[in-house]
Amino acid sequence: MNAGKPIDKHSAQQALRLKWIPDQSVSYGVCITFENEGSKNEVKYEVKVSRLKPGSNNEPLFQIERTSEVFVNEAIPELVADRLAYEAGKVFYPLVISVDNNGGFETVYNHDEILKRWPKIKSKLLSNFDGVMTDYYIANMEKLLAIPLNVTNILGKNDWLINTFFKPIYKVYQKDKFEKMVFPILNNSNVDNYLIAEKFEKNSNSFGAIEVHHEGSIEMENADNFNQYFGDYQGKYFLHPKYKYIISLISDFSISCYATSKVHLRVFMIPEDGRDFDYDFLSTYDENNTITSGAVILDGPPQKSFWERLLNI
């Protein structure tokens, strides 16, 4: 792809399909930067995302494992409230989620496993923390974990990786059609959506990846009558040319009312040991599988403190 070349819009019959093989895993580095009223906080961690075999109702499943500590501003959280939230949050991982046929997040699938992990996590919390804050936080966590829908909602509304990585990008792309998407930056406002134009480049770029671009702004008709919100979103997805899984994701968000808040998210594939970043981008694959017509399906069988604000628990 030539630098600065406009992205072509495609016909209503062109689509993108995910061909991620079950039991195949990809490791990623995640960096999220939060800017708000002059303050800046950076969160970094590593995850392994695995495509699993379909669930009991043939729903596509993915597992997310955190493979490193979570660092805030290059350090492990030290404040008691931050550390408490961080240690309690470990109960969710490994996390198994279901997605729809377009790749969009639907539900937390392994709620029973999360519940079984909680007693051990709770015991560690009680051993390492004490006081009213600990009791309060444990009570809130137990209330949250008791209902599967609560777990799905809290992660679906507040987890930045889930809200960007698992968006419905595997689908038919129609010319001049806009999509409505919600991201965590809007949780504390009365704004419902960003209105987004989606485009993808038919031909792979200079290093062999397929590009999907998002560009949008806050949908003004849903703004609070008393607080006029403005905001923009730009996202770039770089997909593996054969399997179509994400190899890199760059997203930038803003929302302004009395002040401006920004979030910058970067996700990059971590190559396997001893391999180059683009080691399999030149693999032989059927060009006709890049753009297809007809139904779009995933392959397989049919189908406070900073940390408290971040997790919103």
Q: For 183-221, how does the pLDDT look when each residue is reduced to its tens digit (9 = 90+)?
A: 888 665 556 688 999 988 766 666 678 899 999 998 765
Residues 261 and 201 in one domain: yes
pLDDT band at 177 (very low <50, low <70, confident <90, very high): confident
Question: Average pLDDT, stretch 167-184?
Answer: 87
Domain presence at residue 71: yes
Residues 148 and 232 in one domain: no
Domain boundary among 114, 148, 168: 168
Residues 150 and 47 in one domain: yes
- Per-residue confidence (pLDDT) for residue 130, from 0 to 100: 86
Residues 144 and 178 in one domain: no
Tell me the C-alpha distance between 43 and 29, whole Å: 11
Domain presence at residue 297: no
Q: Per-residue pLDDT for 291 more than 50?
A: no
Domain presence at residue 304: no
Domain presence at residue 20: no
Cβ burial 4-13 (10 Å sphere, 16+ → b, else e) = eeeeeebeee
Tell me the C-alpha distance between 298 and 59, whole Å: 9
Q: Per-residue pLDDT for 61 more than 90?
A: yes
Residues 36 and 121 in one domain: yes
Cβ-in-10-Å burial (0-12, 13-18, 19+) of 288 comes to exposed
Domain presence at residue 34: yes
Residues 162 and 186 in one domain: no
Residues 135 and 85 in one domain: yes
- Per-residue confidence (pLDDT) for residue 121, from 0 to 100: 95
- Per-residue confidence (pLDDT) for residue 312, from 0 to 100: 44
Asked if omega into 94 is within 30° of 0 (cis), the reply is yes
Question: Average pLDDT, stretch 16-38?
Answer: 92
Domain boundary among 117, 149, 168: 168
Q: What is the pTM of this model?
A: 0.82
Residues 203 and 184 in one domain: yes
Task: Using CA atoms of 214, 219, 222, 227 in order, give the dihedral in degrees to the nearest 10.
Answer: 110
Residues 35 and 152 in one domain: yes
> Within a 10 A sphere around the Cβ of 26, how many other Cβ atoms?
19
Domain presence at residue 311: no
Domain presence at residue 306: no
Among 154-158, 201-205, 291-295, the least confident range: 291-295
Range of the domain at 156: 27-168
Quick check: 27 and 220 in contact, CB under 8 A? no
- Per-residue confidence (pLDDT) for residue 227, from 0 to 100: 64
Residues 34 and 155 in one domain: yes
- Residue 126: helix, strand or coil by DSSP? helix
- Per-residue confidence (pLDDT) for residue 205, from 0 to 100: 63
Residues 138 and 252 in one domain: no
Domain presence at residue 21: no
Q: Among candidates 7, 47, 9, 12, which has minimal Cα distance to 26?
A: 47
Look at the chain and report how many structural domains it folds into.
2
Q: Per-residue pLDDT for 231 more than 80?
A: yes
201 or 224: whose pLDDT is higher? 201
Residues 153 and 191 in one domain: no
